[in-house]
Structure 1
Amino acid sequence: MDTTQHNSNAWDKKVEEGSQYTKSVTRETIEKSKSGDWRITVTTEKPVPRNWFPNSLDGLKVLCLASGGGQQGPVLAAAGADVTVTDISKKQLEQDEYVAQRDQLTLKTVQGDMSDLSDFDDEYFDMIVNPVSNLFVKDVRPVWSEASRVLKNNGILISGFTNPLLWIFDDNKERKGILDVKHSIPSSTLDYLPEEEVEDFINSNHTIEYAHTLEDQIQGQIDAGFVISGFYEDDFGHTRMLDKYIKTFIATRAIKIVN
């Protein structure tokens, strides 16, 4: 099964349904960003610290990786960056194009898989911004390797991803207030279903998601040539039971260092 194409179709469907992760930023947000009052998120609630970015974004070549939806890319473009947005979902990219046209921004969109950045030259970008999205690929290590390849030496990778503890509980029970440890890591949402329900799940256009180990998430970055220089955690904004006990999202800032 081509899970990349499946998830591409599923995200197109999310745009049509108006999922919160497909809603583009407002004109007011862009106007503030143009005047220097800007922020982005790569997790759910917390904004990325401003000191994770250079003092000026003017002319900075930024790749917004698996970042369609008209959110991070347009804000960074309004703040002065030379932005390219790539995503597997055509409709998500159309959200970025819509904001760019509405607010007279210049940015480029490229449809593609975050695990294969062959559309881009080696050492082209100064920075990569990668919001929570690598849960949609089976193997996360190629994502880090490709990010390292297209970044310049001393380039910055800002990435958000899930704490694998999110996945060990039965999701339906957790939403009812019951924490039932059920799943192992690594795994995928297809592993959590009875065999007779897998086909219906696939046909329903739900995204297929993968729970990666922290070793693959963090040591994977280090193995790809990055040094971790920043870290914070986030949650669902106190809307999920797990928020009472642990943060389920992680953001890292990493610097590419060529030995």
Structure 2
Amino acid sequence: MNTKGLLDQLLKSGSGLLGNSTAGGNRTSGSTAMGGLSGMLSGKGGAAMAGGALGLLLGSKKGRKLGGKVLTYGGMAALGLVAYKAYSNWQQNQQQQNQQSQNYSPATIDRVPEADVEMHTKAILIAVIAAAKSDGHIDDREREIIDAEVAKFTRDASLLRWIDAELQKPLDPVTIASAASSQEIAAEMYLVSVLVIDEESFMERSYLNELAKQLKLPVELQQEIKKQAVAAEQMAAS
């Protein structure tokens, strides 16, 4: 099952809407991460990737959230940049408090070895599908849109079965959180959930809080992720 391949196809499908995509933006340094994100979201310099890796699900939610633009315009690269910025800031704050020096760079999806990308993309897709269901259901029309979009980009029977199974599963934060095999992946799953979920909805907010608990994310890291998500949403809206 090649979840990365599906995400790649979805990214390519939208690359012409706002400009030509560039592969070189995936491995920016921490100091330039938000600048790179701004370029992707604004479309300046031909760096934007519209359509996005997660548009198949975000589109089904009627585009209610600005966060959807972060993902559909910036795709996986934008998600990685925001996650890296949030995780790096939290890590640096922890190190300053404990008077420790920084010893490694966060292994977010935009900077992991190729062998680890599939693990990240699968976990992120699990989180997105769950977030899309957190308002209580995916109705028949939304399901038609999702099935049609997925069918455009893959004929991989095992992948289609996997997506169908994820859509039909009961919403269980414990099971969803078990897909996070590292704290960086947990942060990415939480970030994508923050971007998709409407916290004004009691059901969705409750789900998000329980997911954070099951992902075992420190409160300070949750706060930093939300802070960077807001910053990314503001960039997408400008």
The TM tier, using the shorter chain, reads 0.3 to 0.5
Scaled by the length of structure 1, the TM-score of the pair is 0.34
- Relative contact order, higher structure (CA 8 A, sep 6+): 2
Larger Rg over CA atoms: 1
More helix by share: 2
Scaled by the length of structure 2, the TM-score of the pair is 0.37
More strand by share: 1
